[in-house]
């Protein structure tokens, strides 16, 4: 429950419309305080939502949701939308298991018109809604709200291009420029003025004025002033030219925190024909000084202390991404052909240290995963050693490029899949539960899954040495195991796994982050008189055929445990290998069934999916009575 008396009365957009405009800034302040209060306990996407409070209030004050369709790109900025559309009380359980999602979700509210979580989808989805509206002969507005750099993604421009062609009325794109989009991610659009400024007349006029300014008293000062004026005009003119030539009527830039101005502008849109783009400028993290001063840090946060902004998690805890970044930076000191690429996730993938030390060999391509992959292919073609660090869920967007531009040409691009497996509170849009399946099916791809940070560092050395084709290393979100790093400078032999525990009764083949859990499960089985071997498979592709066949010797049943979809995963590959070798032992798969895993704490989701030590033991003990080769998904 919120503390503010105004917010307490808002259970729907209809309640919002009853307030006088003068009272909306007070409501905005209450909403900010409420968001900060809840996210300090729950974590979430703080800075973006703090920056979009007034914008959201103005949208719902003018438009009639859900009749008028508001589509939020990415969803990072939708918290105010959730609070004022009947979920004020439920917001207290944001991102918890069985609580409301951190992103728009169709099944959650009639006001969540389109589910999001990945960037650059809003314009295309909104245009589809508008086209369907026109086919039905209706006249409602459709509004796509784009922010957090999503305008820089190729899919956004594809949507804008098509929208300009279709010329739909009552179709609005709100460009929330929160200093993470135009100013940083698409600053290159300024080059669009080349079309104008390369004309001979313009060049001669500019040269004459420049020469004249140099001859007047205090000419250098005049030249500096002229340069600033020129830059200001460019920043003002570029968006207008670009979007209007693409078929949009451009309005702005507007102050995204000036509620009366926003309401006045939105109220006038029904008079304008064709698609309209409204450019609003907001302050990311507004109202919370720590987020304003470090918007990147407070983009997505865990629980934190409100008074200091410090994280509540242990400061000394090392994350996989940090170990990766440090290891790659150390390798780059020894090899000047190593380059690092990420897609708007420099901090999240641990590459800040690399970027600082090797700025000429670090490339942040923005929210453009497809481009990142093919860009890396070009680098590899010229003898560089590109490491592409992208969250597992986002790399899905570059699947065609992985196949066509990298693997088909046997180019040695090294893919680093961070946040593989179950990531927790961000939910199904962000879990990385398919990468072993989609990477494993690509011809020539070498797929590695380290059990801990030492193995990960060793596999980075292995990847560096692979010049025959692409490779991938996947590791989970969160803290490392804290293992001995004395062997971290020794590469892992390609395609070679290892026995960790010897046992005569059965074989447990563990993949990546599941290794420690499976060793624990083997100990629990031993206490029940069951001896289980534990194998760290290390390589999902190529599999260690000799090791797997040895594990299955003596007709021992084989269990494959992976934090990945069962379908097309490592268990399927192991079963196929044994079948082709003529070995008919039962192969049980323990992993994620044919479902989208919901949100919640990582530990509780792993338990629900049968991927904790206790649940693995239950699956093993019950396997004798089941003929189902797939285990997990919380069904047993």
End position of a domain, from candidates 280, 307, 330: 280
The more confidently predicted of residues 231 and 24 is: 24
Same structural domain, 152 and 250: yes
Contact status, residue 50 vs residue 125, Cβ threshold 8 Å = no
Q: Evaluate if residue 65 carries a pLDDT over 60.
A: yes
Both 461 and 512 in one domain: the answer is no
Q: What whole-number distance in Å separates Cα of residue 359 and Cα of residue 348?
A: 17
The stretch 318-330 carries a mean pLDDT of 96
Same domain for 468 and 549, yes or no, is: no
Tens digit of pLDDT for each residue in 111-125?
999 998 888 899 999
80 or 220, which is more confident: 80
Residue 367 lies in a domain: yes
For residue 300, what pLDDT is reported?
A: 66
Q: Which token pair is 246? A: 């693409």
H or E element, residue 508 = strand 506-510
Average confidence (pLDDT) over 116-141: 93
567-588 residue pLDDT tens: 999 999 999 999 999 999 999 9
pLDDT (average), residues 361-378:
94
Interstrand relation of 276-281 and 249-255 (parallel, antiparallel or unpaired): parallel
> Considering the domain boundaries, does residue 470 fall inside one?
yes
Element (H, E) at 341: strand 338-342
Confidence of residue 1 (pLDDT cuts 50, 70, 90): very low
Residues 357 and 469 placed together within one structural domain of the fold? yes
- Identify the residue whose tokens are 């086919």: 135
Q: Which of 284, 319, 541, 615 is catalytic?
A: 284
Q: Indicate whether 566 and 524 sit together in one domain.
A: yes
Which CATH number fits the domain that encloses residue 355? 3.40.50.970
Q: How far apart are CA 177 and CA 146, in angstroms?
A: 8
- Strand 498-501, strand 532-536: pairing: antiparallel
**What is the band of 443 on the pLDDT scale with cuts at 50, 70, 90?**
very high
Are residues 272 and 219 both part of a single domain? Answer: yes
- Would you say residue 10 lies in a domain? no
Least confident of 49-58, 248-257, 393-402: 248-257
pLDDT above 90 covers what percent of the chain? 68
The pLDDT of residue 374 is above 50: yes
Q: Are 46 and 79 in contact (CB under 8 A)?
A: no
Choose among 345, 498, 313, 332: nearest CA to 417: 345
pLDDT score for 174: 95
Range 598-636 burial, b when 16+ CB lie within 10 A, else e:
ebbebeebbbbbbbbbebbbebbeebeeeeeebbbbeeb
Same domain, 352 and 457: yes
The reply to whether 433 and 505 lie within a common domain is no
Supply the pLDDT for residue 298. 73
Query: pLDDT value at position 225?
Result: 58
| Residue 405 and residue 524 in one domain | no
> Among residues 168, 397, 477, 589, which one is catalytic?
397
296 in any annotated domain:
no
Given a cut of 60, whether residue 636 has pLDDT beyond it is no
Q: Answer whether residue 151 is part of any domain.
A: yes
Rounded Cα–Cα distance for residues 534 and 339 (Å): 36
Q: What residue numbers bound the domain in which 232 lies?
A: 58-76+93-280
Of the three residues 250, 280, 310, the one that is the final residue of a domain is 280
Distance CA 221, CA 13 (A): 53
Question: Is the pLDDT reported for residue 526 higher than 60?
Answer: yes
Alpha carbon separation from 548 to 476, 515, 518, 559, 575 (Å, rounded): 24, 16, 16, 11, 10
Give residue-wise pLDDT tens across range 480-494. Answer: 989 999 999 999 999
- Of 590, 593, 560, 553, the closest CA to residue 575 belongs to 560
Alpha-carbon distance of 90 to 77, in angstroms, equals: 17
- Residue 315 confidence (pLDDT): 62
248 and 171 in one domain? Answer: yes
Considering the domain boundaries, does residue 215 fall inside one?
yes
Q: Does residue 101 sit in the same domain as residue 237?
A: yes
Residue 433 main-chain phi, psi, to 5 deg: -100, 10
**pLDDT-based confidence at 137, cuts 50/70/90?**
very high
Q: pLDDT grade, residue 371 (50/70/90)?
A: very high
Check residue 508 and give its pLDDT: 98
Q: Is 369 a catalytic residue?
A: yes
| pLDDT given at position 634 | 38
Structure-block tokens of residue 110? 């009639």
Out of 30, 369, 425, 562, pick the active-site residue: 369
The last residue of a domain, from among 439, 474, 509:
474
Structurally, how many domains does the chain consist of?
Answer: 3
Q: Is residue 47 part of a domain?
A: no
Mean of pLDDT values over 348-370? 95
Residue 2: how many CB atoms within 10 A of its CB?
A: 20
What CATH code is carried by the domain that includes residue 627? 3.40.50.920
- pTM for the whole thing? 0.83
Instruction: Classify residue 361 as left (phi > 0), alpha (psi -120 to 50) or beta.
Output: alpha
DSSP 197-255: HTSHHHHHHHHHHHHHHHHSTTHHHHHHHHHHHHHHHHHHHHHHHHHHHTTPEEEEEEE
What pLDDT is stored for residue 633 in this prediction? Answer: 46
Residues 444 and 520 in one domain: no
pLDDT tens per residue across span 273-316: 989 999 998 988 887 877 767 766 776 667 777 777 777 775 66
Mean pLDDT for the chain?
Answer: 87
Q: Is residue 208 situated within a structural domain? A: yes
Listed ranges 224-238, 310-324, 360-374, 618-632; the one with the highest mean pLDDT: 360-374
30 belongs to the catalytic site: no
The question of whether 292 is a catalytic residue gets the answer: no
- How do residues 159-217 score in pLDDT, each as one tens digit? 999 999 999 999 999 999 876 433 343 333 333 333 333 345 444 555 555 555 555 55
- The C-alpha atoms of residue 55 and residue 28 are separated, in whole angstroms, by 10
pLDDT tens, residue by residue, 468-521: 999 999 999 989 989 999 999 999 999 999 999 999 999 999 999 999 999 999
């Amino acid at each position: 429950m919120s503390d503010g008396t105004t917010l307490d009365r808002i259970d729907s957009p209809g309640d919002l419309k009853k307030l006088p405009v003068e009272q909306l800034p007070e409501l905005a302040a209450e909403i900010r305080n409420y968001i900060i209060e809840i996210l300090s306990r729950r974590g979430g996407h703080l800075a973006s939502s703090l920056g979009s409070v007034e914008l959201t209030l103005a949208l719902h004050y003018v438009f009639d949701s859900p009749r008028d369709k508001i589509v939020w790109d990415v969803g990072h900025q939708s918290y105010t939308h959730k609070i004022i559309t009947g979920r004020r009380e439920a917001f207290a359980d944001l991102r918890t298991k069985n609580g409301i999602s951190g992103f728009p979700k169709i099944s959650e509210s009639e006001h969540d018109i389109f589910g999001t979580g990945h960037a650059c989808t809003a314009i295309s989805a909104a245009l589809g809604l508008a086209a369907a509206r026109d086919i039905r002969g209706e006249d409602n507005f459709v509004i796509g709200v784009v922010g957090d750099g999503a305008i820089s993604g190729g899919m956004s421009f594809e949507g804008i291009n098509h929208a300009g062609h279709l010329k739909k009325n009552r179709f609005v794109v709100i460009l929330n420029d929160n200093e993470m989009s135009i100013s940083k991610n698409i600053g290159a659009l300024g080059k669009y003025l080349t079309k104008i400024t390369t004309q001979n007349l313009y060049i001669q006029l500019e040269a004459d004025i420049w020469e004249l300014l140099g001859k007047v008293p205090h000419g250098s000062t005049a030249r500096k002033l002229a340069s600033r004026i020129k830059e200001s005009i460019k920043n003002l003119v570029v968006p207008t030219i670009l979007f209007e030539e693409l078929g949009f009527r451009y309005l702005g830039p507007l102050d995204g925190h000036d509620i009366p101005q926003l309401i006045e502008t939105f109220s006038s849109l029904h008079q304008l024909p064709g698609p309209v783009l409204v450019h609003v400028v907001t302050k990311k993290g507004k109202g919370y000084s720590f987020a304003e001063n470090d918007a990147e840090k407070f983009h997505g946060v865990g629980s934190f202390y409100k008074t200091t902004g410090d994280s509540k998690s242990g400061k000394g805890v090392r994350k996989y991404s940090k170990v990766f970044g440090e290891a790659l930076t150390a390798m780059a000191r020894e090899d000047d052909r190593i380059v690092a690429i990420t897609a708007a996730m420099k901090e999240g993938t641990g590459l800040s240290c690399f970027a600082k030390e090797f700025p000429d060999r670090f490339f942040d391509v923005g929210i453009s995963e497809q481009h990142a992959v093919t860009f890396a292919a070009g680098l590899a073609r010229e003898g560089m050693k590109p490491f592409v660090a992208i969250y597992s869920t986002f790399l899905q967007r570059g699947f065609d490029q992985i196949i066509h531009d990298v693997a088909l040409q046997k180019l040695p691009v090294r893919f680093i899949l961070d946040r593989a497996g179950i990531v927790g509170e961000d939910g199904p849009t962000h879990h990385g539960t398919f990468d072993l399946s989609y990477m494993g099916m690509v011809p020539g791809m070498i797929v590695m899954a380290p059990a801990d940070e030492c193995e990960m560092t060793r596999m980075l050395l292995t990847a560096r040495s692979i010049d025959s084709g692409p490779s991938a290393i996947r590791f989970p979100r969160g803290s490392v195991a804290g293992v001995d790093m004395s062997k971290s400078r020794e590469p892992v032999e390609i395609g070679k796994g290892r026995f960790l525990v010897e046992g005569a009764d059965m074989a447990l083949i563990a993949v990546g982050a599941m290794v420690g859990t499976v060793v624990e499960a083997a100990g629990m089985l031993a206490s029940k008189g069951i001896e289980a071997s534990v194998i760290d498979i290390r390589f999902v592709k190529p599999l260690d055929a000799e090791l797997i066949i040895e594990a299955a010797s003596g007709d021992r049943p084989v269990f494959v445990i992976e934090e990945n979809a069962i379908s097309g995963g490592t268990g399927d590959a192991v079963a196929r290998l044994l079948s082709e070798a003529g070995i008919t032992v039962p192969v049980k798969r323990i992993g994620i069934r044919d479902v989208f895993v919901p949100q919640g704490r990582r530990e509780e989701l792993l338990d629900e999916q049968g991927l904790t030590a206790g649940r693995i033991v239950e699956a093993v003990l019950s396997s004798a009575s089941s003929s189902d080769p797939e285990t997990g998904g919380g069904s047993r």
